[in-house]
Structure 1
Amino acid sequence: MTQEILDQRAAAVIEANKYLTLGTVDAAGLPWVTPVYFTPDGHDAFYWASSPDAAHSRNLTARPDVSIAIFDSSVPIGGGSAVYFRAYATEVPADELERCASVFAARFPELRSYTAAELSGASELRLYQAKPTEHWLMVRGSDPDYGTGTDSRHPVWPRG
């Protein structure tokens, strides 16, 4: 399988899904996972809105290194694809908030658009971003073109 095919397949998984699973760790080292609906900005940034009081938001404030999985849980067993990331996650900085809020809202027509003011200050939500440091695609073992009998993980969008 060529790098181009791997990258295209990973992009297709991201585009086809609305939720990512975000893995965080609290200050005491205890893990926490949560689903959030997201908007990708290519494969270099992923945005979601959450309460700053949510466990995952508090966790990434203490420990910004996160893990992410994007996959379709509705497919039959053995038929799935997934992308995995290691990333650095933070609240979107104030000077980037207007642009990032616009990117976030553009993906879902049904999603209410938030202004920068509604995602900062005393508001109930903040806009967060994860910037991946490593990316992988899971190729299922039964893949008709590239299956080996065992699911395998392949790097995508390698940094050169």
Structure 2
Amino acid sequence: MDEQALGARCAEILSTCLYANIATCHDSQPWNTPATAVPDASLDIYWSSWTEAVHSKNIRANPLAFLTYYDSTRARGTNNQRCLYLRCEAAVVVDTKEAEAAHTLLYPGADIRLDDFFDSGLRRFYRARPLQAWLNCLSEQQVQPDTIDMRREVPLQAIRAAR
């Protein structure tokens, strides 16, 4: 598969999988959280969470995050080129305009007060900005003695172009 086709496959995953696993870490304690996480046109990924959730605290302490998107309903061994891995830098959304954009992505048509996501509000919008992306290229059943990696790196620009 060429870069354009890989980017298209990644874009397809992002448009069909609503949930991501968001892995964070603080003080050598890993944490993984499933969340509704939606990308914008530039590939920034947004979700909303309680400010005191473990992953929210972790992001405040350590901005590095790792997100995965995949279809968990597929039969075992048929997920080849169907799992997207993203190494990201995450942050709390503090800009009102960015919060409005996150709201539109996550709660289309819903009447939610943005004030609830700032200051004394109990929730925040979060953004993960991808730094690197990979697509799985083998299932565990396809691994051979000469296998070096089960993932193939995909240029972020190829994913953006396909979206």
Q: Give the match for residue 31 of structure 1.
A: 30
Amino acid at match of 2:142: G
Shift of 1:121: 1.8
| Shift in CA distance, 157/105, structure 1 to aligned 2, threshold 3 Å | farther
Q: Give the match for residue 46 of structure 1.
A: 45
Q: Give the match for residue 146 of structure 2.
A: none
Contact 2:47 2:102 (C-alpha < 8 Å) held by counterparts? no
- Deviation string 1:35-57 (CA, Å, 9 cap, x unpaired) is 00111113621110100100000
Shift of 1:113: 4.6
More helix by share: 2
Contact 2:22 2:34 (C-alpha < 8 Å) held by counterparts? yes
The percentage of counterpart residues that share the same residue type is 26
**Which is worse superposed, 11-20 or 48-57?**
11-20
Q: Give the match for residue 10 of structure 1.
A: 10
**Which is worse superposed, 118-127 or 78-87?**
118-127
Note if 1:101 corresponds to 2:94: no
Q: Give the match for residue 135 of structure 1.
A: 133
Amino acid at match of 1:3: E
Contact 1:14 1:70 (C-alpha < 8 Å) held by counterparts? yes
Aligned-pair Cα RMSD in Å: 2.3
Please report the TM-score for the alignment, with normalisation by the length of structure 2: 0.82
Q: What's the secondary structure of 1:79's corresponding residue? A: coil
- Deviation string 1:62-83 (CA, Å, 9 cap, x unpaired) is 0010111111111100111100
Q: What's the secondary structure of 1:73's corresponding residue? A: coil
- Please, which runs of 5 or more residues in structure 1 have no aligned partner? 143-147
Distance 1:59 1:82 in 2: 24
Contact 1:11 1:43 (C-alpha < 8 Å) held by counterparts? no
Shift of 1:89: 0.4
Distance 2:14 2:137 in 1: 14
Q: Give the match for residue 122 of structure 2.
A: 124
